[in-house]
């Protein structure tokens, strides 16, 4: 059986052939072993673990777990890996018990106990493995409840400023911090409530994630500051802006903009630069225009939210008005009002299936049902969807099936994109025939995607060319070595006959 590394600390697990559970000799945690022990599955699981645990790149790690699930849909470890990525789970030492416990770096509205991937992991696991998943999930659910309680007390923000605070390994503030500070002060002077971690988190006690989560949820604008490519991709900066972009992709009406200085604009991550125009912090007029635009967006958002804030709170029976207000609240991103209307409706009309649809949309921060067709995460495992299916009309059920099919296509498209991008990376790094053939094999997995078929042929030709270059260099080296030896031998022989 192959070696497997601990999800908590990265050390190699100890186990015997036939075991379902491995034990980490370093941190002592028990961990389920994969059900599918094929070489390909093991390779992908280790790549995903490294991306999640070491690089803390949850998005790329998720893509690797999805590759596993496309090969082995019932693999519990890959389903659990999807959960770890979705909630940004890392394992840290508990100061009291000194055990490794899960920590959340990507807080979500929906409980982990309702997550479809978690349910699938439990369903497909052996009993002793399922117990471990359930223990972690129960602990994470408790942390979620604690974080929600903290976040619910936070007042809404207008702007979230994301930036790298300190130079790695030092206490020296980055140039990004100074730019962010100036933005914070300028926007604060315009009457906006700004999340700026240096000030906002200064007096906070305990974990910072619930405060970050509350600000990401409420702020209609995010400004991402960077003076270097690596600063835009710094662990926490990337964590913040990728989560914010996910909300935009899910249909939330939010605005994200990069602010840069002293760097090539092409080095800004494409996911960011594709959203909106980047602003140059070295140009006063750029920053002035940005601040005016941000204030305008925030004022428009407050005006749009005003009608929903006046939603009726009495015990009236006008359920048709409540239904209309429920969807109006969704469109205005007033998630709490939408949930309250759904609750009221179900209290007088328990069979109203669309209320459960509203809960599904609220959990995903979607303003309209049509946006389900753009998702890459299945909703079929949600408890709200189970209840909807029991009550839905044939027309509504047909509509939901269409969304299911579209999501599956989106997942497949995303899988192909990831494999293609990985193949491009392998090709760009190829330095011999074998590595070029590895790139070709990756392209072969998505032969009908874009120009993958042409890339396969190119990889094989390129591999042959690399091999010829290597053979040519070897021949030159051998010739030089041979000539050197001959000269040396001639010199030795000459020394014996030097008197003639």
- Provide the CATH number for the domain around residue 42: 1.25.40
Residue ending a domain, among 151, 172, 190, is 151
Q: How far apart are CA 100 and CA 104, in angstroms?
A: 13
Residue 204 — very low, low, confident or very high, per pLDDT cuts 50/70/90? confident
Mean pLDDT of 231-246: 91
Check: pTM over 0.85? Answer yes or no.
Answer: no
Query: What is the reported pLDDT for 469?
Result: 87
Q: Report DSSP state, residue 113.
A: G
- Is the pLDDT score of 182 beyond 60? yes
Determine, yes or no, domain membership for 255: yes
Same domain, 141 and 172: no
Determine, yes or no, domain membership for 264: yes
Determine, yes or no, domain membership for 10: no
- What's the mean per-residue pLDDT of the chain? 87
Tens of pLDDT, residues 143-166: 988 888 888 888 889 999 999 999
Share of residues in the chain with pLDDT > 70 (%): 92
Query: What is the reported pLDDT for 85?
Result: 93
Q: Are 244 and 250 in contact (CB under 8 A)?
A: no
- Is the pLDDT score of 82 beyond 50? yes
Query: What is the reported pLDDT for 494?
Result: 65
- Is the pLDDT score of 488 beyond 80? no
- Is the pLDDT score of 316 beyond 60? no
**Residue-wise DSSP of 361-392:** HHHTT-SSGGGGGG-SS--TT-HHHHHHHHH-
Residue 314 — very low, low, confident or very high, per pLDDT cuts 50/70/90? very low
Residue 378 — very low, low, confident or very high, per pLDDT cuts 50/70/90? confident
Three-class SS state of 226? strand
Mean pLDDT of 222-239: 93
Query: What is the reported pLDDT for 312?
Result: 47
Total domains, the chain: 4
Least confident window among 9-18, 200-209, 294-303, 473-482: 473-482
Tens of pLDDT, residues 408-444: 998 888 888 888 888 888 888 888 888 899 889 989 9
Determine, yes or no, domain membership for 36: yes
- Is the pLDDT score of 486 beyond 80? no
* Cα separation values, 206 from 202, 203, 261, 360, 380, Å: 11, 10, 33, 31, 35
Residue ending a domain, among 392, 422, 447, is 392
Q: What are phi and psi of 450, to 5 degrees?
A: 50, -125
Residue ending a domain, among 128, 151, 174, is 151
Same domain, 131 and 203: no
Query: What is the reported pLDDT for 322?
Result: 86
Chain-centre distance of CA 247, in angstroms? Answer: 12
Residue 1 — very low, low, confident or very high, per pLDDT cuts 50/70/90? low
Q: Which of 405, 473, 466, 401 is nearest to 432 (CA)?
A: 466
Mean pLDDT of 486-497: 65
Domain that residue 123 falls in? 21-151
Same domain, 255 and 225: yes
Determine, yes or no, domain membership for 498: no
CA dihedral 469, 471, 477, 478 (to 10 degrees): -160
Least confident window among 101-105, 265-269, 477-481: 477-481
Helices (H) and strands (E) in the chain, counts: 19, 9
Determine, yes or no, domain membership for 398: no
Paired strand residues for 137: none
Phi-psi region of 101 (alpha: psi -120 to 50; beta: other; left: phi over 0): beta
Same domain, 247 and 131: no
Q: Are 376 and 410 in contact (CB under 8 A)?
A: yes
Q: Report DSSP state, residue 8.
A: T
Mean pLDDT of 392-413: 92
Query: What is the reported pLDDT for 36?
Result: 83
Residue 255 — very low, low, confident or very high, per pLDDT cuts 50/70/90? very high
Same domain, 214 and 236: yes
Q: How far apart are CA 67 and CA 421, in angstroms?
A: 13
Determine, yes or no, domain membership for 490: no
Same domain, 303 and 318: no
Same domain, 115 and 36: yes
Cβ count within 10 A of residue 11: 13
Q: Are 67 and 418 in contact (CB under 8 A)?
A: yes
Phi-psi region of 28 (alpha: psi -120 to 50; beta: other; left: phi over 0): left
Same domain, 265 and 350: no
Same domain, 180 and 300: yes
Same domain, 233 and 371: no
Query: What is the reported pLDDT for 499?
Result: 44
Query: What is the reported pLDDT for 151?
Result: 85
Q: Which of 373, 443, 448 is nearest to 411 (CA)?
A: 373
Q: How far apart are CA 303 and CA 71, in angstroms?
A: 49
Same domain, 263 and 388: no
Query: What is the reported pLDDT for 311?
Result: 42
Mean pLDDT of 30-50: 90
Tens of pLDDT, residues 13-24: 998 888 899 999
Query: What is the reported pLDDT for 310?
Result: 41
Determine, yes or no, domain membership for 331: yes
- Is the pLDDT score of 111 beyond 90? no
Query: What is the reported pLDDT for 260?
Result: 95
Q: How far apart are CA 303 and CA 220, in angstroms?
A: 13
């Amino acid at each position: 059986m192959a070696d497997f590394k601990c999800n908590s600390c990265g050390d190699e697990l100890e186990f015997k052939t036939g075991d379902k559970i491995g034990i980490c000799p370093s941190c002592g945690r028990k961990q389920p072993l994969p059900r599918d022990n094929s070489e390909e599955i093991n390779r992908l699981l280790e790549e995903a673990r490294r991306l999640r645990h070491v690089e803390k790149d949850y998005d790329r790690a998720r893509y690797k777990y999805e590759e596993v699930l496309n090969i082995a849909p019932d693999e519990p470890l890959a389903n659990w890996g999807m959960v770890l990525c979705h909630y940004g789970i890392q394992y840290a030492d508990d100061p009291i018990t000194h055990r490794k416990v899960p920590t959340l770096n990507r807080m979500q509205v929906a409980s982990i106990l309702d997550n479809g991937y978690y349910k699938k992991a439990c369903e497909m696991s052996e009993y002793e493995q399922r117990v471990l998943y359930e223990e972690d999930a129960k602990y994470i659910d408790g942390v979620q409840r604690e974080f929600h309680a903290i976040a619910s007390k936070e007042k809404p923000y207008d702007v979230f400023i994301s930036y790298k605070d300190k130079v790695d390994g030092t206490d020296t503030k980055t140039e990004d911090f100074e730019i962010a500070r100036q933005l914070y002060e300028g926007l604060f002077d315009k009457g906006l409530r700004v999340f700026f971690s240096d000030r906002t988190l200064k007096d906070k006690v305990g974990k910072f994630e619930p405060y970050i989560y509350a600000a990401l949820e409420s702020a209609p604008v995010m400004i991402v500051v960077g003076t270097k490519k690596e600063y835009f991709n710094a662990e926490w900066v990337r964590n913040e802006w990728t989560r914010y972009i996910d909300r935009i992709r899910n249909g939330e009406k939010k605005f994200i903009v990069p602010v840069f200085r002293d760097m090539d604009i092409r080095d800004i991550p494409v996911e960011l630069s594709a959203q909106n125009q980047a602003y140059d912090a070295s140009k006063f007029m750029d920053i002035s225009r940005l601040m005016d635009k941000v204030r305008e967006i925030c004022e428009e958002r407050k005006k749009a939210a005003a009608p929903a804030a006046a939603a009726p709170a009495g015990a009236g029976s006008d359920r048709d008005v409540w239904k209309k207000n429920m969807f109006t609240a969704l469109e205005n991103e007033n998630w709490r009002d939408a949930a309250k209307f759904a609750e009221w409706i179900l209290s007088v009309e328990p069979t109203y299936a669309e209320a459960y649809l509203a809960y599904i949309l609220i959990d995903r921060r979607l303003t309209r049902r049509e946006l389900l067709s753009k998702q890459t995460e299945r909703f079929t495992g949600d408890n709200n969807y189970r209840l909807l299916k029991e009550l839905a009309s044939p027309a509504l059920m047909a509509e939901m099936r269409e969304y299911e099919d579209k999501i599956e296509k989106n997942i497949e498209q995303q899988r192909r994109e990831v494999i293609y991008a990985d193949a491009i990376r392998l090709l760009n790094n190829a330095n011999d025939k074998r590595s070029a053939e590895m790139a070709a094999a990756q392209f072969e997995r998505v032969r009908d995607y874009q120009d993958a078929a042409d890339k396969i042929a190119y990889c094989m030709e390129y591999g042959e060319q690399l091999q010829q270059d290597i053979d040519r260099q070897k021949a030159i080296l051998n010739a030089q070595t041979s000539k050197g030896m001959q000269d040396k031998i001639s010199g030795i022989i000459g020394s014996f006959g030097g008197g003639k």
